[in-house]
Amino acid sequence: MKAAEANVRRGPSLTHRIDWVFKRRGMPLQVVAEYGNWRKVQDHDGAGGWVHYALLSGVRTVLVETDMLPVRASPDPGALINARFESGVVARLGSCNIDWCRISAGGYGGWAPKSNLWGVDPDEIRE
């Protein structure tokens, strides 16, 4: 999410009722449908609705699902730990192989198992 706040509507227009407001810049959202300039999105908990596309960013982020997740120097379970991210941290998504993704947040970064992240598909590969 690009904006600090985004109204989530029941349908794809300004005439539809606002069901709630997302209030976390950078929060990863899954786009599940498109209609004109509107995107139907869902968050980690499955909550969602219609948001104007201008409130969304093309920057990919993920949500850390494991508390004190080790972020490693390379995509290897035995690699040096660069940092540990708490559950709920929103991290910027970099490249991914079949099992690991490069993530960064708060000036720290490295590789984390894809299975501990929400916002990236299990079979997604990113260069």
pLDDT in tens, 9-57: 999 999 999 999 999 889 999 999 999 999 999 999 999 999 999 999 9
Domain borders along the chain are 6-57, 62-118
In DSSP terms, which residues pair with 61 in a beta bridge? 92
Q: Compute the average pLDDT of residues 64-76.
A: 98
- Determine the residue type at 99: D
Q: Select from 119, 125, 72 the least CA-distant residue to 96.
A: 125
The two domains 6-57 and 62-118 share their CATH topology (first three levels equal) = yes
> Domain 62-118: what homologous superfamily?
SH3 Domains (2.30.30.40)
Assign 99 a pLDDT band (cuts: 50, 70, 90): very high
Mean pLDDT taken over the chain: 96
- The share of the chain scoring above pLDDT 90, in percent, equals 94
The model carries a pTM of 0.89
Q: Select from 62, 68, 67, 65 the least CA-distant residue to 101.
A: 62
- 50-87: string of b/e by CB count within 10 Å (b at 16+)? bbbeebbeeebbbbbeeeebbbbeebeeeeeeebebee
- What is the domain class of 6-57 according to CATH? mainly beta
In DSSP terms, which residues pair with 103 in a beta bridge? 93, 110
**pLDDT score of 2:** 92
